[in-house]
């Protein structure tokens, strides 16, 4: 066939096949026999083989998989992926509705949906074609898993109808029960540990490197949220109905409700009917329908104020407690673990459950060999919710909490006002030493992920690293060729069967590790500070401290008063920092890391040379700009001390509006009497500040001349 005719036929076949996919998977209404469908697909496969340069990125053959993704690229979400606030009873739903009605002085319609129990995915469409699929990750950045996601037949590769040029669709990737059961039977045959539940299996499958295997595992998808800068709909419900027409899989189990009774009825129906669904749901999501009302309600840093999840109550089982053992965490926290007679619960077998802390054991009044009730709550880790006192043996003794660390024998301590017991031997207790190094290499810290948990364990056990500072004395020759079989726990730690894995440092692995270590020397100071693993100093706090103090010496020498002056640093954090640097071994580790070339200083925030004219101002950027990209404007706002916000509220100081600012936003700003300035006005505001910056610099020059 001529190339031009092939191009035409490929386009024709692609469209026809995708239409049949849509009819079959989304409408559940096939209009072609399996045989005829396969004939079309085979014809397309043959043509693409003959003319590989004509394969379209949205070709239905992508659904079969085949490509290998070695490393999933990290992608920053255009809109952060927030989560939902959870509620467990009618009162919390009533509170949610009351809160909303207090803010919105007009009738509110709610949309009730199923809460799919899988992993959330962000799908980006440009001119009707799926261009990117990204996992939630930490909400700000996720992994690009497009190749794998294209194998899911309910996710449209090409849209039909009058869709917007560029938008994002959010949804859930799930694994239906029949796929889950088939895979676990196969894994059992192969001697592999079974997946604990469909959600775990989905998470594992989406991150597989070989997309043909993903295709084989038959994942499914439902979409529930459309996002773009200016949505062309007034309500969520309308947006979902339009999405359905464009080719998305939208659940038919959606209800518009206006009263708590209607919402309650939806919850009650699905709490029962969920048992008949071919996939897991773990609750109901209740959302405000109207977008303008959503804007008015806004979001917290974690979740929108316009939605809530109602979580179904967990199923319960009763079983015998055999023994309580004690686990040492990364930070030395001791977690008591109940070892139980195996019992089936919500699709899995439970053998262990967390007992949280000593107070929890006391509250339960737990005795040896008690019969206990076990539940799987929101989390995957089962927990004990009560004791069956009627079945207690008369002479049974109370459970006693450990007095010494089960790993290193050190006497345990408990800080006043805290529930947890700790092993204070931070720098000498093996799980804590390894934990500290695991934290150090994390993506958000030094980002040396080629060195995972297993490899850290092996290098530690071989005596090559005793502390994170030792990582920088590793060389290719020292690690190349190391091999060890280690026992690993599955991703949920100790609560399922553990298994073994061979860890080996082959040529490429060894090279990657050494390269990553070298590259980590460029990691900015605030992340190095976070990587040190000072108790209570999280990522954000580390950033604030680094910006304020400028370098490590200032932090080491700071007193409690200096530290508590920093935003978000209270006494607890300040004392923890002082405590950390009062240990000579930590000072020595910092000295060695500094010697290795890590970054231990950065410009103080006020030192960026820019007049902080926007200090304490909360600014919303809206529309399209001529001279800046939106990101540039946002960065400029931060450079001049301002804070960016995505939604207009009474707290907004002013709005920088470009072209095409949405009418809803404009109306809201006018209602709240918020100043709107143009791009030009913003620039002249900055120019005023720049003049001041320049004159400051001139003065400094003058001073240096003297
Ligand atoms: S809406 C701002 N709708 O639940 C968040 N989420 O705990 C908007 N989920 O991360 C999410 N079914 O993965 C929404 N019908 C549904 C959902 C749903 C499941 C998941 C989603 C989200 C998590 C929140």
Residue 431 near ligand 1, beta carbon < 6 Å: no
| φ, ψ of residue 597 in degrees (nearest 5) | 110, 15
Per the CB < 8 A criterion, the answer to whether 93 and 286 are in contact is yes
Mutate to test the pocket of ligand 1, among 224, 252, 281, 299 (most ligand atoms within 8 A of CB): 224
Kindly state if the Cβ of 120 falls inside 6 Å of ligand 1.
Answer: yes
Helices (H), 228-344: 236-246, 260-273, 291-297
Catalytic, 643? Answer: no
> How much is the pLDDT for 346?
67
| Residue 420 CA to its chain's centroid (Å) | 26
Closest protein CA for atom 3 of ligand 1: 224
Rounded to the nearest angstrom, the distance between the alpha carbon of 232 and the centre of ligand 1 is 22
Q: Which residues contact 447 (CB under 8 A, 6 or more apart)?
A: 441, 516, 519, 520, 523, 527
* Active-site annotation holder among 3, 70, 101, 115: 115
For residue range 202-239, list pLDDT tens digits in order.
998 998 888 888 999 999 999 999 999 888 999 999 99
CB atoms within 10 A of CB 535: 15
Handedness of CA 512, 513, 519, 520 (dihedral sign): positive
Under-50 pLDDT residues of the chain: 378-379, 490-498, 696, 698-706
Q: Which two tokens stand for residue 80?
A: 């952060």
Strand 220-227 with 166-174, pairing? antiparallel
| Closest residue CA from atom 6 of ligand 1 | 115
Report whether residue 83 contacts ligand 1, using a CB cutoff of 6 Å.
yes
Give CA angle at 289 (286, 294), nearest 5°: 95
Half-sphere exposure of 124 (CA within 13 A, CB side): 16
d(Cα 221, Cα 212) in Å, to the nearest integer?
18
What is the longest distance spanned by two Cα atoms in the chain? Answer: 90
Q: Is any ligand 1 atom within 6 A of the Cβ of residue 221?
A: no
> What's the CA gap between 84 and 246, in Å, rounded?
27
Name the closest-CA residue to atom 2, ligand 1.
Answer: 82
Predicted TM-score (pTM) of the model is: 0.54
Output the CA 456–ligand 1 centroid distance in Å: 35
Mutate to test the pocket of ligand 1, among 309, 377, 647 (most ligand atoms within 8 A of CB): 309
Torsion of CA 392, 396, 401, 404, to 10 degrees: -150
Q: Is 627 exposed, middle or buried (0-12, 13-18, 19+ CB in 10 A)?
A: exposed
Q: Is the CB of 279 under 6 A from ligand 1?
A: no
Q: How far is the CA of 122 from the centre of ligand 1 (A)?
A: 11
Q: How far is the CA of 646 from the centre of ligand 1 (A)?
A: 20
**Whether the CB of 225 sits within 6 Å of ligand 1:** yes
Pair 372, 339: CB distance under 8 Å: no
Q: Which residue has the tokens 């089936």?
A: 344
Q: Could you tell me the two tokens for 551? A: 């370098």
| 32, two tokens | 């072609």
Q: Is 172 in the pocket of ligand 1 (CB under 6 A)?
A: yes
pLDDT digits (tens, 9 = 90+) for 111-124: 999 999 999 999 99
Q: Strand ranges (DSSP E) for 261-391?
A: 281-288, 307-311, 316-328, 334-345, 348-354, 371-376, 382-387
Q: How far is the CA of 410 from the centre of ligand 1 (A)?
A: 44
Distance (Å) of CA 110 to CA 33, 100, 286, 407, 686 = 41, 11, 6, 52, 43
| Three-state secondary structure of 637-706 | HHHCCCEEECCCCCCCCEEEECECCCHHHHHHHHHCCCEEEEHHHHHHHHHHHHHHHHHHHHHHHHHHHC
What is the model's pLDDT at position 151? 95
**158 CA → ligand 1 middle, Å:** 24
Q: Cβ(323)–Cβ(295) under 8 Å?
A: no
Helix or strand (DSSP H, E) at 14 = helix 3-21
Position 633 scores a pLDDT of 85
Q: Which atom of ligand 1 is nearest to the CA of 303?
A: 2
pLDDT at 591: 97
Measured CA to CA, the distance from residue 324 to residue 649 in angstroms comes to: 51
Element (H or E) spanning 255, and its range? strand 255-257
Predicted local confidence at residue 490, as pLDDT: 40
Closest CA to 312 of 288, 276, 280: 280
Contact between 117 and 281 under an 8 Å Cβ cutoff? The reply is yes
CA-to-CA dists, residue 494 to 326, 347, 400, 403, angstroms: 11, 18, 21, 21
Give me the pLDDT at residue 189, please: 64
């Amino acid at each position: 066939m001529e190339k031009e005719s092939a191009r035409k036929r490929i386009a024709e076949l692609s469209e026809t096949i995708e239409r049949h996919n849509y009819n079959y998977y989304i409408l559940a209404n096939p209009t072609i026999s399996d045989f005829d469908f396969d004939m079309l697909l085979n014809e397309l496969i043959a043509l693409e083989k003959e003319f590989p340069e004509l394969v379209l990125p949205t070709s239905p053959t992508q659904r079969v998989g085949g490509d290998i993704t070695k490393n999933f690229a990290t992608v920053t979400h255009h809109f952060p992926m927030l989560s939902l606030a959870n509620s467990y009873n009618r009162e919390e739903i009533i509170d949610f509705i009351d809160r909303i009605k207090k803010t919105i002085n007009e009738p509110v319609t709610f949309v009730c949906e199923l809460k799919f129990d899988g992993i959330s995915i962000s799908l980006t469409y440009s001119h009707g074609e799926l261009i990117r699929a990204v996992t939630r990750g930490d909400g700000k950045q996720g992994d690009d898993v497009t190749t794998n996601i294209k194998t899911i037949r309910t996710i449209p590769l090409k849209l039909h109808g009058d869709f917007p040029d560029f938008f994002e669709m959010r949804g859930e990737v799930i694994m239906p029960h029949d796929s889950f059961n088939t895979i676990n039977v196969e894994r059992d045959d192969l001697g592999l540990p079974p997946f604990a539940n469909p959600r775990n299996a989905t998470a594992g499958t989406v991150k597989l490197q070989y997309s043909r295997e993903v295709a084989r595992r038959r994942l499914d998808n439902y979409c529930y949220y459309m996002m773009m800068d200016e949505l062309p709909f007034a309500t969520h419900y309308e947006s979902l109905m339009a999405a359905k027409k464009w080719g998305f899989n939208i659940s038919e189990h959606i209800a518009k409700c206006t009263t708590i009774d209607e919402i309650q009825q939806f919850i009650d129906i699905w709490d029962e009917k969920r048992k008949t669904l071919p996939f897991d749901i773990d609750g109901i999501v209740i959302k405000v329908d109207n977008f303008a009302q959503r804007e008015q309600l806004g979001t917290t840093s974690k979740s929108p104020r316009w939605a809530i999840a109602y979580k179904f109550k967990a199923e319960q089982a009763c079983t015998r407690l055999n023994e309580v053992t004690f686990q040492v965490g990364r930070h030395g926290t001791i977690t008591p673990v109940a070892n139980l007679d195996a019992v089936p619960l919500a699709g899995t077998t439970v053998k262990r459950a967390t007992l949280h802390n000593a107070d929890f054991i006391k509250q339960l009044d737990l005795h040896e060999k008690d019969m206990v009730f076990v539940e799987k709550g929101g989390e995957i880790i089962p927990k004990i919710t009560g004791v069956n006192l009627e079945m207690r043996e008369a002479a049974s003794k109370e459970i006693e909490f450990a007095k010494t660390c089960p790993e290193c024998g050190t006497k345990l301590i408990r800080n006043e006002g805290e529930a947890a017991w700790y092993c204070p031997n931070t720098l000498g207790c093996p799980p804590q030493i390894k934990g500290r190094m695991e934290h150090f290499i994390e993506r958000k810290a030094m980002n040396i992920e080629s060195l995972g948990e297993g490899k850290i364990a092996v290098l530690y056990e071989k005596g090559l690293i005793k502390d994170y500072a030792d990582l920088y004395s590793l060389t290719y020759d020292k690690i190349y060729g190391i091999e060890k079989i280690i026992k690993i726990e599955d991703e949920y730690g100790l609560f399922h069967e553990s298994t073994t894995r061979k860890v080996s440092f082959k040529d490429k692995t060894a090279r990657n590790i050494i390269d990553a270590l070298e590259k980590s020397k460029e990691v900015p100071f605030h992340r190095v500070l976070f990587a040190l693993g000072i108790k209570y100093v999280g990522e954000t706090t580390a950033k604030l401290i680094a910006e304020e103090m400028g370098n490590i010496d200032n932090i080491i020498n700071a007193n409690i008063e200096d530290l508590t002056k920093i935003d978000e640093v209270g006494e607890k954090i300040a004392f923890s920092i002082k405590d950390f640097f009062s240990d000579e071994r930590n000072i020595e580790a910092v000295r060695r890391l500094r010697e290795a070339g890590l970054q231990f200083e950065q410009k103080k925030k006020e030192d960026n040379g820019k007049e902080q004219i926007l200090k304490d101002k909360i600014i919303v950027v809206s529309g399209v700009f001529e001279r800046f990209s939106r990101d540039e404007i946002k960065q400029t706002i931060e450079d001049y001390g301002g804070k960016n916000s995505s939604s207009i509220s009474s707290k907004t100081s002013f709005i920088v509006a470009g072209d095409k600012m949405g009418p809803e936003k404009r109306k809201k700003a006018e209602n709240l009497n918020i100043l709107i300035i143009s791009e030009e006005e913003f620039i002249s505001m900055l120019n005023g500040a720049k003049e001041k910056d320049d004159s400051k610099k001139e003065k400094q020059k003058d001073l240096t001349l003297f």
